Amino acid sequence: MSEEIAAIGVLYAPFLGGMMVGCFLFGITISQAILYFRNYKDDALFLRALVASALLIDTFHFVMVVDVVHIWYLFCKLPQNYALLASFPWPLGASIIATYLITSMVQALYILRVYMLSKNLWATGFISFLSLAQFGFGLFLWEDLFVANSLTALHGTKGQVGGSVELAATTLCDISISVALWWYLHKGRTGFAKTEKMVDKLILYIVNLGLLTSAASLLTLILWLVMPSSFAFVSLTLIRSKLYCNAMLVTLNFRQTVRTALHGNTTTGQSTTRVFQDIDGVEMNSYKKSIP
């Protein structure tokens, strides 16, 4: 019996690793959120509410993950609680829902940015479909785990289908967002040195942040398919909400740099630049308006 418990403890080690990395990333999330609410007091209520909601959900996610680790690594050490090691604790289910919510919220903001920059309904619709697919199949996976009340359901047919499609849709959605932003920003190049420099900064910060979440999702998918029984993919799954929150906050906080570049751009001979609106991403379209 002791050998079986030890084997289960090693199997669940990725949960502990994910929580430890999540602690570090959560600290960054808090600092980025403080910067945002301090520097962007004039943002629309919608955007500030979105950031506040994401921060609250991510905090809830962090608390739930800590509770799961507490259950498995402390509470289940008692002999009478050994059986709980094979169960699906409700805090883990709550953390999964929180992850899907944050992923969808951040992706929605990026999708809005793509639309405002491109005005392309087909591209926006395709990316939106992928985002909805990741949320829908994520709930499909959660429901299977909840009903089975066991993590072994991950290795069943429904679990494999739900998890694979959810991760694939998330990865493809993030990649599509990054490609769309790069393409439409690249098309908007003007030939003016200062404007070109600003566009390069936008691509560096916005597209690369999208690629970061894409790479994390892709690696999670690979680990899910190649090493499903090891739970190695869990470490990345537990920090996914933190990656998305930080990507969103870094992008929002970067707007001041873009605004300064726009207002200081005299190459085009314009004395004024279009006033920034409240929804993030308008600044990427604003530099086009400053060109005669």
Q: Which fold has domain 2-289?
A: Rhopdopsin 7-helix transmembrane proteins (1.20.1070)
- The mean pLDDT of 207-236, rounded to a whole number, is 82
**Band of the pLDDT at 212, cuts 50, 70, 90?**
confident
pLDDT score recorded for residue 273: 35
Beta bridge partner(s), residue 87: 150
What is the widest separation between alpha-carbon atoms in the chain? 78
Q: pLDDT per residue over 63-89, tens digit each?
A: 999 888 888 777 777 766 766 777 788
**Band of the pLDDT at 277, cuts 50, 70, 90?**
very low
Structure tokens at 108: 């929605």
How does the average pLDDT of the chain come out, rounded?
79
The letter for the amino acid at 261 is A
Q: Is 231 helix (H, G, I), strand (E, B) or coil?
A: coil
**Band of the pLDDT at 286, cuts 50, 70, 90?**
very low
Q: Is the pLDDT of residue 232 over 60?
A: yes
**Band of the pLDDT at 244, cuts 50, 70, 90?**
very high
In the chain, domain spans: 2-289
- The sign of the CA dihedral 139, 141, 144, 148 is negative
Tokens 């936008």 correspond to what residue?
Answer: 202
Angle between helices 121-148 and 90-118 (to 10 degrees): 180
What is residue 204's DSSP assignment? I
Range with the lowest mean pLDDT among 62-66, 78-82, 105-109, 178-182? 78-82
Cα dihedral value 144, 50, 275, 188, nearest 10: -20
Q: pLDDT per residue over 9-43, tens digit each?
A: 556 778 888 888 999 999 999 999 999 999 888 88
d(CA 160, CA 145): 11
Range with the lowest mean pLDDT among 80-89, 161-170, 179-188? 80-89
